[in-house]
């Protein structure tokens, strides 16, 4: 199954380290991140899960629920979490899906046979509060993810969902944003009272409107 931006994220029921969950019910009215790991007891994944646990308060601020997945079983997950807590000096505080039958991995196209026939690649899906997929990133098994970048992307996605703006390259919270081309010049002042700059007719910027 090929998933694309704007598709409704497929729903599923799964066994996790925090009990059985239904994905859409788990998200509720929140945004969500679903991210996969090639296997338990692997070094890069261990650092990733520890990092996400430490950043959970940042995800909470953005109303984002986190859910991880690995193709190993629940017993392996529980043992691995002990290692993560020990080595990363944290406490894993979000569910880890046991996808031993690979049903969810296949549903979300997380297994790429030319990379590995058995294990998931490092897939990331950011899902909006409307259940639609907003971002898809795929990393190879050897490269750990940058979760600060995922927080930055979520900030951009949530901002641009509510305002007629886009965020420029390397944008971070508090920096100027780009006014959408669909906004007419005569309407800018009423929509963006903080002021704006016209750099080119097609490139107009304004201070971030939601702070």
29-62 b/e (C-beta count within 10 Å ≥ 16 → b): eebbbbbbbbbbebebbbebbbbbbebbebbeee
Give the number of residues written for the chain: 211
Query: What is the separation of C-alpha 141 from the centre of its chain, rounded to a whole number of angstroms?
Result: 17
Which residues of 61-114 form beta strands (DSSP E)?
Answer: 64-70, 96-98
Relative orientation angle of helices 147-162 and 43-54, to the nearest 10 degrees: 50
Q: Which residues pair with 35 in a beta bridge?
A: 68, 124
Distance CA(77)–CA(103), nearest Å, equals 17
Active site (annotated) includes residue 45: yes
Q: Give the span between the Cα atoms of 69 and 125, in whole angstroms.
A: 12
Annotated catalytic residue, options 45, 126, 165, 179: 45
What are the structure tokens assigned to 19, written together? 């009990």
| DSSP annotation of 180 | P
Active-site residue set: 45
């Amino acid at each position: 199954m090929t998933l694309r931006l704007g598709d409704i994220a497929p729903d599923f029921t799964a066994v996790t380290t925090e009990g059985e969950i239904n994905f859409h019910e788990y998200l509720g009215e929140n945004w969500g991140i679903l991210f996969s790991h090639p296997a338990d007891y692997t070094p890069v994944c261990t650092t990733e899960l520890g990092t996400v646990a430490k950043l959970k308060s940042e995800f909470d601020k953005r109303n984002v629920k986190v859910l991880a997945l690995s193709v190993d079983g629940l017993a392996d997950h529980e043992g691995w979490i002990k290692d993560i807590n020990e080595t990363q000096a944290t406490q894993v505080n979000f569910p880890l899906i046991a996808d031993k039958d690979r049903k969810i991995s296949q549903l979300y196209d997380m297994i790429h046979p030319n990379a590995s026939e058995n294990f998931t690649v490092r897939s990331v899906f950011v899902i909006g509060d409307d259940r639609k997929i907003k971002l898809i990133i795929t990393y190879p098994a050897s490269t750990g993810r940058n979760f600060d970048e995922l927080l930055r992307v979520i900030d951009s996605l949530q901002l641009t969902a509510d305002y007629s703006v886009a965020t420029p390259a390397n944008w971070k919270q508090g920096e100027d944003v780009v006014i959408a081309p669909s906004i007419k010049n005569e309407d800018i002042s009423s929509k963006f009272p903080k002021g704006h700059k016209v750099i080119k007719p097609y490139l107009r910027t304004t201070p971030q409107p939601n702070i």
